[in-house]
Each structure stands twice: as structure tokens, then as C-alpha cells.
Amino acid sequence: MNINGSQILIECLVEQGVDTVFGYPGGQVLNIYDALYKNKDRIRHILTAHEQGASHAADGYARATGKVGVCIATSGPGATNLVTGIATAYMDSVPMVAITGNVPTPLLGKDSFQEVDISGITMPITKHNYIVKDVTKLADTIREAFYIAQSGRPGPVLIDIPKDISAQFCEYEVEKPRPIGRTVHRIKQQDIEVAVSLLKNARKPFIYSGGGIIRSDAHEELLQFAEKLQAPVATSLMGIGGFAETHPLATGLIGMHGSKASNLATTECDLLIALGARFSDRVISDVSKFAPHAKILHVDIDPAEVGKNVKVYSSVIGDVREILTTFISLIPQMEHDAWIEQVRAWKEEFHFDYQKDETLRPEFILENIYDQTQGEAIITTEVGQHQMWAAQFFKYTKPKTFISSGGLGTMGYGTGASIGAQIGKPEMQVVHIAGDGSFRMNCNELSTIAYYNIPVIIVIMNNATLGMVRQWQTKFYEKRYAESTLDRGPDFALLAQAYGVTGYTITSQEEFSRAFKEALESNKPAVLNCQIGIDEMVLPMVAPGAAIHDLILE
């Protein structure tokens, strides 16, 4: 059929199984939005309050569903407003396709109104990007973009479409999406043999599980592998949910704010098995003191990650699910009872804890949310202290239920992400954990939540400060609180009400329990403004430059 570029875009999105896009219109995408209007029975468009909100919503949708998230923005400032969201997705390996408009091709490079070289700007933060200057190549470009976003190590891809290309006509034929195969061609038999020998000979093996387990849907294989190897399992921030935290072998979060059991086990193990993890500086801290007694076996889909941050003894490159399946078939049932007992003792002695009294504390809030939802919720977060409390005090048992900006640490991420997650998984309850500093950055997305009646429950840990900044200033800057105190508005409960969302001001444990129960039962959006102490801290904590076993506990 002979159709224009905008309709080609719609047909290709439908080909790829896209049912929802997030965006904000503008001059250079008017043709695309006209096509979206004509096809609103085929693709749902969610109008966000800001383009950054659209990019974070597409990201949250992708993380919650495992599908590709799609966002759309116009040229110039519309496109640049996507940049933070694209970078967030890139750092955390999230499959996303960002579609931007641009000025007509004859005006490219002439500093035209609202023109920007968005493909050049986003080159370092995308897996690939395109500017389409020939309408006959548009369909194949879109198909290739979706394939690249999902294949191998996932990530964002950008397609820049000049306005004249979206209006030009050409022939279009329907194609089935190219199947996404697992990366197995890089798996070398010799590497497998070395790895299996290490696994069989280890006396104190320890598994460090990262986001790759979730991206590869390898959580069941990880469970079988850990039980067969009889090895404890710690997770990175991005790996949360990949191994049930209620399992006896689970030791919880690893790294700067990880459990002491995880960090001690890393220090004392003789084999550290890193699965789909990139050895972030927030995990390893002082690299010279990281896993000092261990041979490190690194399994990852991206060879660029191997040896980048830590020296490894051996590696296997390829899809972690396929590699774990191979390991399971090649190792016997192992027994490491003494090692397991030692780790269990560390867990018992050093578990995450806090002073339990009548004070409204963030740890109580997370535990109460867990109890009231019976653990059946998707938790999204902003970035800061509340993010770490959410990682520590809610017991995650399933993948894709903890959604947070890990690599880039994007304040303002979570509200948009909660929108995408709730739309992608309407059968789940999404609870968004925010800090007052992060939430004010993108609280305008309350208008989106209210308009579409998205039943996200937003819990604000309001300590009237940039909490993590203040914690560092307290510990390492002699309490010089430079520009970190937020002694100013708004009243978040009143703000919510202004947008048509139910708002609560919470000052006690009883008030929180009652308000959260009401919000759950209402199946409507709500904001719970929880007033907690300004000097609440995230503990344990590894000081800058310290070894990860050298934790500040109080």
C-alpha cells in the first residue's frame, strides 16, 4: 500500500507489538500525531506533562513488562528534554525506542527554528541512532531500531524523523518482526570448561547477581544454579528481584549500602561468581580490597564489561540464562554446609535493623507497605535515601518488581516510571517511593496520573532535606549543610489535591497504616506526604575509599 511516513511509523509500531506510547506533541511531529489520532483504536498515547516524564514512563513500562518502551517528542527542546531519560535507560540496559521529529531535510544544518542535532547529542547514550532522510528507508529503520533495542545487551535507540519525511508517500509492506535470539555464538567451550572446574573446586562460592539476570529472564535458572552449587546469593541494586530475598541462600543487597552478610561473604569467599553484573563503583568501593581471597568468574553478555572495573580470573561471554542452563547440567549437587552456616550466622547477627519505637520511620513505612500488599507490588523509586530504604526493607521475591535508576541515579525518574509501570502492569499495585527533593523535580506528572486515573500510590519520605547529601555532609563534611536543607514548599498533600489526587499528611505510624489502607482500597491515585526526621540515615554505609566489609553500622 502507498502511505505516508507517519502512517508507516504507526504500521511498524503495530508490527512490533506496541500498544502504548508516551509523548508530547510539537510542530515537527504534527504529522505523526495526526496519524496517532487516526489510529487511536490501535495504539494508546499517554500525554505526559513534560517530555522527560514521557521518557521515564517509557523506561518504567519497559522494565515492568520486558517489552520495548516507546516515547515521542518534537524537535529542539522537545528532543533534548528526552536526553536524561535516554541516558537513564542506557546506563541500566533498558530497551527503549525514542522517536523525535526534526525540521524538514532542506533546513537541516541551518540553525532553523527548534533544530538540534539530536542524533549527535545522543550518540554516547544510545546503542544506535538514526536520522531518516529517505522515506523509503523509514520502515526498515524502525524495524532495525526495535531489533537493536532488544537484542544482546538491551538499550535505547533513537530515530530522528524530519517533518517532510513524515509527510512523503511510498510503498509499504507488512513484515513480521525479526526474532530476537539469545546471544550464544560467543559462548566458548573452553571458557565453560574452565568455569565448571572453578565451580566444582570452590569451597566458599558466592554469587553476585546483577540486572542481567532480570533482562535475560534467568531468575529460575539462577535459583536452580544457586541451590545446586549451594552458594549464597547477593544482588546489586539492578539485580533486586532476580533472586527471592525470602530464600535461605539470599544475603540481600551488596555494596555501599548492602548487608554486612553480603559484603563479608564477598570478602571471605574463594570464588565470586558475577552474573550479569558490571562491578559498579557502588559495589566494589576500594578495588584493591574487593574479594581479596577469591577467584572471580564473570558471566556477561557484553565483553566490554569483563575486566573493566576489576580483574577477573575467568569469564564466559553470552546470554546468562543459556550459560546458567549449561552450568546446571555440568555440575553435580555441591555441599558447602560450613560456608552456608557461616553466612547464615552473619545474616542473623547483622541483618538490616532500626530503632523500633512509636516514631514514624522510613523503615517502618516500607515494612508496613510490604505487609499491607503482602509483597505483591511493584516498587518504583526516585534516587536518594528513600531508594536505599526501599532496597533494604521491602522483601522482593519476583523480577521486574523493583524499578529504580541505578547507573545514572536520576532524581525525578520515579514518578514517570511509576506511570509507565502501572500502565504496563495494570493488574499489579504500583507504589512509588519518593524523597521530597526528587519528587519536586517532576511532580508535574501528577497531572498525568490524575487525568488518566492511574492508581499509583506515591509515598514521599519528606525529611525537609536532600537526605543523602545531608548524610554525607554529616559524616564527611563536619555538618556543613550547604544548600541541602529544603525548608520551603510545597505542601505535597495540598499540591496533590490541586491536581485532583487524594493527598494525606502523615506524622505517625497509625496515620500511615490507615492512609495507606484507604489508598489501597480506593484503587485511585494518592499521595502520602510522610514527615520523617531530618537526620534519619541509611545504614549500613561504606565510607568513600573503604573496603566493603568495613561498614559504618550506626
Q: Which residues are catalytic?
A: 51, 113-114, 163, 468
How far from each other are the two terminal CA atoms of the chain, in whole angstroms? 68
Q: Which position has the grid cell 512509636?
A: 358
Q: What does the alpha-carbon distance between residue 272 and residue 234 come to, in Å, rounded to a whole number? A: 11
Q: What does the alpha-carbon distance between residue 242 and residue 180 come to, in Å, rounded to a whole number? A: 21
Number of continuous H segments (helices) and E segments (strands) in the chain: 23, 22
Cβ-contact 369, 516 below 8 angstroms: yes
> DSSP states of 100-147 as a string?
EEE--GGGTTTT-TT---HHHHTGGGSSEEEE---GGGHHHHHHHHHH
Single out the residue of 418, 447, 77, 398 nearest to residue 239, CA to CA. Answer: 398
Q: What does the alpha-carbon distance between residue 277 and residue 309 come to, in Å, rounded to a whole number? A: 11
- Cβ partners under 8 Å of residue 128, min gap 6: 145, 148, 157
> DSSP class of residue 429?
E
Cell (9 digits) for 256:
555501599
Residue at 275: amino acid letter: L
Q: Which position has the grid cell 517489552?
A: 67
Cβ-contact 355, 245 below 8 angstroms: no
- Cβ partners under 8 Å of residue 548, min gap 6: 254, 255, 256, 258, 263, 266, 267, 283, 284, 285, 286, 289, 290, 542
2 beta partners: 171
Q: What does the alpha-carbon distance between residue 362 and residue 385 come to, in Å, rounded to a whole number? A: 9
Single out the residue of 495, 401, 397 nearest to residue 440, CA to CA. Answer: 495
